[in-house]
Amino acid sequence: MILTALVASPFLLGVLAWVLPGRTARRVVFMAAGLVQAVLAAHVILNPPAPEWGGALGADALGQIFLGIVTLLFALGAVYTFGYMGLHRHPRRRYYVPTMLFFLGSMTLAVLSRHLGLFWVALEATTLSSATLIFFDRSERSLEAAWKYLILCSVGIALALAGTFFLALAIPPGAEGSLQLDHLMAVAPQMAPGWVKTAFLFLLVGYGTKMGLAPMHTWLPDAHSEAPSPVSALLSGALLNCAFLGILRAFQVTNAAGLGDFARRPLLVLGFVSMATAAAFLIRQPDYKRLLAYSSVEHMGILAVGMGLGGGPAAYGALLHALNHSLAKALLFFTAGAVFLLYHSKAVAGVSGLARRAPFVAVLFTAGFLSITGTPPFGLFVSEFTILLAALAGGHTWLSALYLLLLAVAFTAMGVAFLGMIFGEPSEPPAQEVKGWHAVLVLAPPAVLAAASLVLGLYLPERLTVLLKSAALLLGGQG
């Protein structure tokens, strides 16, 4: 019952927000949705309920991790939106709140679905609902970005649907079975290996497109930089992870079919290609929101590398990294929104002297930079280091060296950009003052995220490690 309620409530509240007249009413519904989601999701994560819808809807360890990420970012994003839209002279659009809620509902359905067909439906629904949020300001650039996002992700996801069907065909004739995860895992050892391999490749390319793995990432920098900042944070921090979950589900089945080694190789290749592509585009990137978007490509690459290395510690590291990346990336996009308000420019060269103009924003931006580049003591350092140790333990000396090199390039490239923005002389008078209670709402969410990212670098609660370990176990990692 509770899982159904969790999935249904954003959709119902979305319809309500669509019907209700008046901005205030819609805002109240929006905040209520964030609150309901937080309460229900916390309940699901703390007391995992029995599966529903005949087993198609359930919260296993993987689902719980990603549900937590989606919920945390949405709840903070709802608070942030209040302040951001209050300060920003965005055109007011009636469809913003309903669409955001449909977006939340489809992400929730995706993380909770244990049926690959249902997962596909949910993930495609996330594309459709978020596309309208990307061209929110109807500028030429944002329309182009929304178009590329829609067509590339829809086609990519269509390939994943073909992969899903191939997987169903691989079920041995006569065997009971649907596309439900438990059924698939049970019959996986008897599946036709040729079909399973084809299916995995289609699913990897399809969901990999949505996850932003290079070379299918071309839509990502446009979409993530053109969307309004609260939307960017959800796209980068929550939605990319949902697509990653699709690849993990495909991996679970492939691994159960005894083809785990086959699946790891393309993951490793796509992971390193993504890290290298992102590093190349991070260097001298003139637009700071695009900088953050390319950094997402880099970190999705790290996740793929972690899964591609194989083994329990690497999978554990990848999942921890997914969580850490979400916190840090949302922190950065939230803060970037505040920087945009202060300077009315998305150009790295258009921002200077942030430390003098707005010290608190500068502190948040610095924390975000240190966190995203994996500097100790932030959380990403721990997860990147875990993956590195797993690579070394697996005897991949050269891959470890390449991994470190690419991380160093990304660190340097981002460092140059951030130093220039934070220090220096603030040029003209600020484009806009960021103060008052709106500013509190804009700055509190990133501050919470910065604290969370710092805490995860210093101390991992035992509950979290247990959850991550059991999730890694689902991915075939022993110990």
Contact footprint for another protein (CB under 8 A): 56, 115, 117-118, 120-121, 124-125, 127-128, 131-132, 135, 138-140, 143-144, 146-147, 150-151, 154-155, 158, 161-162, 165, 168-169, 171, 173, 177-179, 192, 194-195, 198
Q: Which CB sits closer to another protein, 152 or 364? A: 152
CB 136 within 8 A of CB 142: yes
**Angle of helix 116-134 relative to helix 240-256, nearest 10 degrees?**
160
Give the Å distances, CA to CA, from 67 to 45, 71, 101, 379, 437. Answer: 8, 6, 15, 19, 30
Strand-pairing partners, residue 57, are 52, 113
Q: Look up tokens 């949505």; give the residue.
A: 210
Q: Which CB sits closer to another protein, 128 or 455? A: 128
Q: Which CB sits closer to another protein, 143 or 392? A: 143
Residue type, position 283, single letter: I
Q: Which CB sits closer to another protein, 164 or 366? A: 164
Q: Measured from the CB of residue 85, what is the shortest distance to another protein in angstroms?
A: 21
Q: Measured from the CB of residue 39, what is the shortest distance to another protein in angstroms?
A: 27
Q: Measured from the CB of residue 116, what is the shortest distance to another protein in angstroms?
A: 9
Pairwise CA distance, residues 190 & 170, whole Å: 9
Q: Measured from the CB of residue 199, what is the shortest distance to another protein in angstroms?
A: 11
Q: Which CB sits closer to another protein, 126 or 386? A: 126
Q: Measured from the CB of residue 101, what is the shortest distance to another protein in angstroms?
A: 15
Pairwise CA distance, residues 314 & 477, whole Å: 8
Q: Measured from the CB of residue 16, what is the shortest distance to another protein in angstroms?
A: 19
Q: Which residues of 312-329 are buried (b: 16+ CB within 10 A; e: fewer)?
A: bbbbbbbbbbbbbbbbbb
Q: Measured from the CB of residue 143, what is the shortest distance to another protein in angstroms?
A: 5
Give the Å distances, CA to CA, from 342 to 34, 88, 339. Answer: 27, 10, 5
Pairwise CA distance, residues 116 & 252, whole Å: 12
Q: Which CB sits closer to another protein, 148 or 299? A: 148
**Token digits for 116?**
């690959």
Q: Measured from the CB of residue 448, what is the shortest distance to another protein in angstroms?
A: 33
Q: Which CB sits closer to another protein, 179 or 351? A: 179
Pairwise CA distance, residues 468 & 65, whole Å: 8
Q: How many CA atoms lie within 13 A of 241 on its CB side?
A: 32
Q: Which CB sits closer to another protein, 206 or 446? A: 206
Say whether 308 sits in a helix, a strand or coil.
helix
